[in-house]
Structure formats: C-alpha cells, structure tokens
Amino acid sequence: MKYIIIYVSEVNNFFGWQQREQQIFYLNINIYKNLFIQLNYWKMSEESQYSEHPGGWIEWFCAHEDHQFLCEVDDDFIRDPFNQIGIKGKFNFFNEALNMILQPTSPEDQDLEDERFLEVYQEASDIYGLFHARFIFTSKGSAIMRERFLQGKFGHCPRIYCEKQNVIPIGLCEDLKTARIKVFCPRCEEVYMPKKKCADIDGAYFGKSFPQFLLMTYPDLHPKFQLLPDTQILVDFEPTLFGFKIAGKQGSKIKRFEQSFQCNHVNTQPIIQPIEQNIIQQEQKQYRIQIQQQQQQLTQQQNQQQTDQNKELIQKKKNKKKHKQ
C-alpha cells in the first residue's frame, strides 16, 4: 500500500484555513486522490453558486478583461419591473437591449460586425451597469462583493503605509458617461485611479455610496477591526538622506494638505478679527467725519446768521440817520 507524506498546512489551504502547523501527515494515496477531487468539486461549486448564466451574455460581458470589477446580476433581478423603474425611460432600445442581456448564449463574431447590434450593445452595457449598481446593494450582491474584496480582486491601495490594503470600487458620479471608475481605500480614505486594464468601466455602475454601504453592512471589513495585537501604527513618511532630513521636502502630500488645512482653520480667527476691526474703525471714522461736517455746517449757519444780523443793524442805523436829516 502506497502512502504520501504531506504537511497539514497544505490540507488546510485546500479548505481555506490559514493554519501553519508544520506537522507531517500520512495519507493513503487513493484517499488523497479522492480528497483532492472532492475539494476541486467543492471549489468549482463555490465559484459557480452565483453564476446562473453558463455561456450567456452576462457571463460573457463580465468575463471581459476591462470588466473585472463587475459581478453577475441575477436574471430574476433584471426581469423584476420594480428594479427597472428609473432605468427604462433613459434608453431608446431598452426592450431590445434587455433581451440581449438575458440571452442564454454569448454573441458571435459576426454579431460584433453588425452596426445595429453594436448600437443596441452600447445601451445594453449601460443598462446592465445601472442594474449592477442596484444589485450590489442587495444582500446577495453585497455578499459577492464582500468575497471579492477579501480576495483582493479590486486591487490594493498604492499608498505605502496602507500596507496593500484592499480597495473598493467607487463612482464619483451617479450619472452615466460622466466619470470612470475609481477605487476607495478604507484605511487612508482616499480615492485612486485603478489599474488601466480595470479602468474601462463607467463610475455609475457602482455609484458613490457603495464603499460606505459595504463597510457599514460588514463592519469586520473596516481596517480598524483587522489590526493584530502587536501591530504598530507607522508614523507619517518623512524623506531623509542618509538619516538626515532633506531641506524643502515635507513628506506626504496628504499630511501636508491636512497640516495646511489645520493651519488655515486655526488662522482664520486672527485673520478675521483685524478685518472686522478695520471695518469698525472705518465706520467710526465715517461717523466722526459726519459729525465734523454737521458741526461745520452749524458753525457756518451761525456765522451766516450773525453776519446777516450785523448787516441788518448797520442798515437800520443808516436808515435812522437819513430820517434825522
């Protein structure tokens, strides 16, 4: 009887466990073959449990290299009239495009040369994207996206201190043909451009609320729940040369932006106060000028009245002299 020597860690990897005990394990080779076949069957069944369109348009569309972020939407979800509200009126060939999406077979090469087919296909792509944006907010859709997030299917954060944190797709606008897909890092909470091969997706296929929805639905996905007991939080990057700081280099752009924002926020109070004081001083000056002008007018009026009175007296004296004569 033949035996095969394997490590327990290898068997654990088949089941998805992450144990690393290096213990020698003896198996009958026939049992090992049966176990390997059974595990492959389980793996295939897990991968196909959400795929109900073998060879259909949806599977063909999602298998495209540029559409790796998309998941397969259920036929029943697309057929539901309630889910079509707000989508049907936006397209001229909605019914034809819907029939194309629900086709059980993938397009052929000759179909891709037909202008009418390409016109309907363009609308079918956008219609499927809008259905996709709604499907990922369901329990089944969010579960699919959660698994893909954990597997790193959407890529990793390019920021070095995020330590290859898995990212989540996000659209910066809900409208079609406005912005391409981006990725959101839940650790640094920044938005980045994805890899070029995954960037040919409209941002409306995901929407701008999906990352927060996924993190709120599954709180265990948030990085603060994934820190190990002995994990140290790294300090902000500061460029050095042979251990010495470089003049003029201030480190992370994100940190600089935060510092400038804080400085602006702190300095707004003393900046505003002098402005208000200047306004008050100007108003006081204007008020003083007005008072001075009024006083000058009063003095002028008084002087004018005095001169008039003097003239009258002089005139009266002259008149009296004339009468005497």
**Domain extents for the chain?**
3-48, 53-135, 151-256
Q: Report the candidate in 62, 63, 64, 68 with the shortest Cα–Cα distance to residue 198.
A: 68
- Identify the H or E element spanning 26: strand 24-28
Q: What is the pLDDT of residue 303?
A: 86
What CATH number belongs to 151-256?
2.20.25.20
Rounded Cα gap, residues 168 and 152, in angstroms: 9
Matching fold, domains 53-135 and 151-256? no
Strands 244-245 vs 240-241: parallel, antiparallel or unpaired: antiparallel
Q: What is the pLDDT of residue 270?
A: 46
Q: What is the pLDDT of residue 255?
A: 58
Residue type at position 197: K
Angle value at C-alpha 19, between 13 and 22, nearest 5 degrees: 95
Would you call 6 helix, strand, or coil by DSSP? strand
| Regions of the chain where pLDDT drops below 50 | 1-54, 227-228, 233-235, 266-272
Cβ atoms of 179 and 207 closer than 8 Å: no
Q: Report the candidate in 103, 198, 188, 93 with the shortest Cα–Cα distance to residue 155.
A: 198
Domain 53-135 in this protein, CATH class:
mainly alpha
Q: What is the pLDDT of residue 153?
A: 92
Rounded Cα gap, residues 221 and 214, in angstroms: 8
Angle value at C-alpha 222, between 217 and 227, nearest 5 degrees: 145
Rounded Cα gap, residues 158 and 195, in angstroms: 10
Would you call 191 helix, strand, or coil by DSSP? strand
Cβ atoms of 237 and 161 closer than 8 Å: yes
**Tokens at 316, concatenated:** 């009266």
Rounded Cα gap, residues 70 and 51, in angstroms: 13
Q: Who contacts 71 (Cβ-Cβ below 8 Å, separation ≥6)?
A: 50, 62, 132, 135, 136, 141, 144, 145, 148
Task: Count CA within 13 A, CB hemisphere, residue 53.
Answer: 22
- Residues facing 192 on adjacent strands: 183
Rounded Cα gap, residues 64 and 121, in angstroms: 14
